[in-house]
Homo-oligomer: A and B are copies of this chain.
């Protein structure tokens, strides 16, 4: 292109440079980069999982906080089961086995749509929860920023949105550093903390706020609520199994190894933080996170190592939020291909489709953060439903998969996935019961609504496809085209429109509405001089209306040649500045609106470019 058009410039500015097809899979992930890129979401959740358990138990009193340890061990066990279950998905779906794909292949349309809806909601909550928790890490280190919590979270959403629209995903590998920074600082924290405990030099951290026992009894329901909260440690473990094709060959083997590493790190960090929190007698607070208190206890108040922990926590959480910016548009694109969401989300080479997904995701996450005042604890109950619905459906789908394939050792594989499905299904049940009234009901309502929307969308497109079928179609051959040019006087834009109209048909007529006989007479006199024989039709307007006589005349022309087309050619000003649109009639739009539903009628605007 010798000159780049407005559109290309605009698009390039917003979405960045296009990627040629042959480069799309150029850079594959090694195990080291794969862990960093795909595990930020599951690893980052250890930043808040322990705290979510403690803040339920503290309702009973500080003595109940010891119960966190057994709960954490149960969760770690379940996490291991889920990871083993997902490793099988990696081998069975080397091209990427998201819950939607596995459910669609094995369970049918409805479970697939339930999985897809859960995942879409899950991605929105990944952004909201991760950013809320990241901001909590900041406000723990810098308490004076606590009052601006909501504004900070919204600012992060904005930065992620703009960054992703501009295309930071391409250079996402640079952003992998925070994952290792986080792993190293947390493991160091655990090691140093363990050393202090073992040497007896650990001193309890005094409570940030006085603990007010609310006299709640230690019931099974309360323990299950604490357990539900702790299950946030499991969010995001499926990421590696979705990203198999991005690994270096042998893809499945590398992905499986990466997933194992991720699981070991996750469990180590989660148990480590939980055990140390117990040893340092940490009580949850609205002002400061558990990890922040622990880091103060282990490293001493507000030194360099302390700030390193807070910075690493904040960074990995923002990175975790960022992963949803790749996942949401990708799933939306797959759903659009299957015609379950509007095709604007379908990726067709340009990144425009992804842009729609990125903006949609940001707006939804922003609404959640605003509505829940940027509070991690308030968002957690909403998070879990979507995560465990997709876990359960994905594992259940794998059981069916093995039964269908019946390869060697299929029973063992089916048993592992069956255990995974049973365990995650049980957790889903616990979460639904304990969290329903804390906000999970919103998600239980949103999932069926999203499924309904997907089905209506699909039905619409199927209806359109029927109407587009070529069965029985026959070209009606050459047809007459009556070209009408409505004019309001003689000026350059009108004459240019007439010039253009004359290339379209031999039957061109200018149409003028007479509201002022003197002006009409003047027009008739000038007409021949400028228009070289184009017939001028003058319409009377008893009601002084400009539109209605024109519409009536179009109707007449159409009636005279029922087989022909009627084309309305309108001169349209293209102002030099966008706000100059204010100064020009939207008459073309009105005429288009009026004729939109009339068959065989086409309205064309001939742009007349104003220079200033």
Task: Give the B-binding residues of A (Cβ under 8 A).
Answer: 1-3, 5-8, 18-22, 342-344, 348-350, 457, 460-461, 463-464, 467-470, 473, 475-476, 478-481, 490-493, 495, 499-500, 502-505, 515, 530, 532, 541-548, 551-552, 555, 565, 573-574, 580, 582-586, 590, 593-599, 601-607, 609-612
CB distance from A557 to the nearest CB of B (A): 13
> A492 contacts which chain B residues (CB < 8 A)?
467-470, 473
| 12 A-B pairs with C-beta separation under 8 A | A1-B552, A7-B593, A342-B583, A349-B541, A350-B544, A350-B546, A463-B612, A464-B573, A467-B610, A470-B490, A481-B500, A500-B565
Query: Contact: A475 with B499, CB < 8 Å?
Result: yes
Query: Contact: A599 with B594, CB < 8 Å?
Result: no
Residue of B nearest to A494 (CB): B468
Contact of A468 with B491 at beta-carbon distance under 8 Å, contacts A555-B1, A583-B342, A602-B604 already known: yes
> Roughly how many angstroms separate A605 CA and B601 CA in the complex, as a whole number?
10
CB distance from A588 to the nearest CB of B (A): 12
> A20 contacts which chain B residues (CB < 8 A)?
542-543
Contact of A597 with B609 at beta-carbon distance under 8 Å, contacts A348-B546, A504-B481, A555-B1 already known: yes
Given A1-B548, A18-B545, 7 extra CB contacts under 8 A = A5-B595, A7-B593, A19-B543, A20-B542, A20-B543, A342-B584, A464-B583
Query: Contact: A6 with B596, CB < 8 Å?
Result: yes
Query: Contact: A495 with B469, CB < 8 Å?
Result: no
Query: Contact: B5 with A598, CB < 8 Å?
Result: yes
Residue of B nearest to A601 (CB): B607
> A480 contacts which chain B residues (CB < 8 A)?
503
CB distance from A402 to the nearest CB of B (A): 32
Residue of B nearest to A471 (CB): B492
**Which of the residues B457, B476, B551, B601 comes within 8 Å of A7, measured between beta carbons?**
B551
> A5 contacts which chain B residues (CB < 8 A)?
551, 594-595, 597-598
Query: Contact: A544 with B21, CB < 8 Å?
Result: yes
> A342 contacts which chain B residues (CB < 8 A)?
582-584
CB distance from A30 to the nearest CB of B (A): 26
Q: Most B CB atoms within 10 A — which of A20, A468, A473, A490?
A: A468
Query: Contact: B607 with A545, CB < 8 Å?
Result: no
> A541 contacts which chain B residues (CB < 8 A)?
349
Q: Which 5 A-B pairs have the closest CB atoms?
A: A349-B544, A7-B594, A468-B491, A18-B543, A481-B503
> Roughly how many angstroms separate A1 CA and B19 CA in the complex, as a whole number?
55
> Roughly how many angstroms separate A357 CA and B541 CA in the complex, as a whole number?
23
> A546 contacts which chain B residues (CB < 8 A)?
348-350
Residue of B nearest to A347 (CB): B544
Residue of B nearest to A531 (CB): B475
> A603 contacts which chain B residues (CB < 8 A)?
605
Query: Contact: B475 with A503, CB < 8 Å?
Result: no
Query: Contact: B565 with A460, CB < 8 Å?
Result: no
> A610 contacts which chain B residues (CB < 8 A)?
463-464, 467
**Which of the residues B344, B349, B457 comes within 8 Å of A545, measured between beta carbons?**
B349
> A505 contacts which chain B residues (CB < 8 A)?
503-504
Contact of A548 with B602 at beta-carbon distance under 8 Å, contacts A476-B499, A491-B470, A543-B349 already known: no
> A468 contacts which chain B residues (CB < 8 A)?
491-493
Query: Contact: A585 with B1, CB < 8 Å?
Result: no
Query: Contact: A602 with B605, CB < 8 Å?
Result: yes
Query: Contact: A602 with B593, CB < 8 Å?
Result: no
Q: Most B CB atoms within 10 A — which of A1, A469, A532?
A: A1
CB distance from A451 to the nearest CB of B (A): 17
CB distance from A235 to the nearest CB of B (A): 31
> A479 contacts which chain B residues (CB < 8 A)?
499, 503
> A350 contacts which chain B residues (CB < 8 A)?
544-547
Contact of A470 with B499 at beta-carbon distance under 8 Å, contacts A19-B543, A593-B6 already known: no
> A3 contacts which chain B residues (CB < 8 A)?
555
**Which of the residues B460, B475, B545 comes within 8 Å of A580, measured between beta carbons?**
B460
Residue of B nearest to A569 (CB): B602
Query: Contact: B599 with A609, CB < 8 Å?
Result: yes
**Which of the residues B348, B551, B605 comes within 8 Å of A544, measured between beta carbons?**
B348
> Roughly how many angstroms separate A547 CA and B597 CA in the complex, as a whole number?
28
> Roughly how many angstroms separate A534 CA and B612 CA in the complex, as a whole number?
41
> A611 contacts which chain B residues (CB < 8 A)?
467
> A601 contacts which chain B residues (CB < 8 A)?
607
Q: Most B CB atoms within 10 A — which of A490, A504, A565?
A: A504
> Roughly how many angstroms separate A18 CA and B541 CA in the complex, as a whole number?
11
> Roughly how many angstroms separate A481 CA and B343 CA in the complex, as a whole number?
33
CB distance from A21 to the nearest CB of B (A): 5
CB distance from A24 to the nearest CB of B (A): 8
Query: Contact: B495 with A473, CB < 8 Å?
Result: yes
